[in-house]
Amino acid sequence: MLFQILTQQPQAIGAIVRGTPVWVWGLLAALLALGFSQVRDRTASLVRVSVMPVAMTAFSLMGIVTAFSRAPGLATVLALWLGVAAAVAMVVAKGRSGASYDAAKRVYALPGSWVPLLLIAGIFLTKYAVGIELAMQPNVVLDAGFTLPVAAVYGVFAGLFIGRAARLWRLALRPATPPILAA
């Protein structure tokens, strides 16, 4: 319905934006600042590289629980979210990271990337659009044709964050290779 309104009645966009609570825009600003901080090359500790994936995965799960807590198939929705998140995380975790880890200093050298910003914006926009749809049609939570695709989208975002973090964790957990001695 939201897509239909936006394409057929674009003047409704102003009403939707004006009806959005102010704190939502503050949250968006904070999330975008976090995303922009990832654009430049930087160094970070293991804890620091773990905070954002954990927070964004929690944000994704919160999106499912708050949106579909009264859905009759909540267990199915959560299972789909978990399955998609796990599958995407496993695929992404197998990839290569452009980062390096200095075990002596216990710090990562991270290349700048626009990907975290895009993922943060994507998960925020998904949660925003779902919130609007639920405000306009509260009974859509009863429709598996709505809840399951939304759960899958949230699962993709969670999996991408977890998989990217797992690549970094793997660098820190890799055993140090001993020096080769010449005979």
Q: What percent of the chain has pLDDT over 70?
A: 91
> Which pLDDT tens digit goes with each residue over 107-122?
999 999 999 999 999 9
Contact 146, 16 (CB under 8 A): no
Give SS3 for 65. Answer: helix
Assess if residue 183 is contained within a domain.
no
Number of domains in the chain: 1
Tokens representing 132?
Answer: 């609007």
Assess if residue 80 is contained within a domain.
yes
Assess if residue 37 is contained within a domain.
yes
Instruction: Decide the pairing of beta strands 100-102 and 42-44.
Output: unpaired
Domain, as residue range, for 168: 2-173
CA distances from 72 to 18, 65, 87, 133, 147 (A): 32, 12, 25, 18, 10
Give SS3 for 72. Answer: coil
Tokens representing 141?
Answer: 């939570």
The CA angle 148-12-140, to the nearest 5 degrees, is 25
Residue 141, phi-psi category: left (phi > 0), alpha (psi -120 to 50), beta (remainder): alpha
Assess if residue 137 is contained within a domain.
yes
Assess if residue 82 is contained within a domain.
yes
Assess if residue 181 is contained within a domain.
no
Assess if residue 53 is contained within a domain.
yes
Question: What pTM value is reported for the model?
Answer: 0.83
> Which pLDDT tens digit goes with each residue over 45-63?
999 999 988 988 998 898 8
What whole-number distance in Å separates Cα of residue 73 and Cα of residue 145? 12
Give SS3 for 11. Answer: coil
What is the arithmetic mean of pLDDT over 170-182?
Answer: 67
Q: How many CB atoms lie within 10 A of CB 14?
A: 9
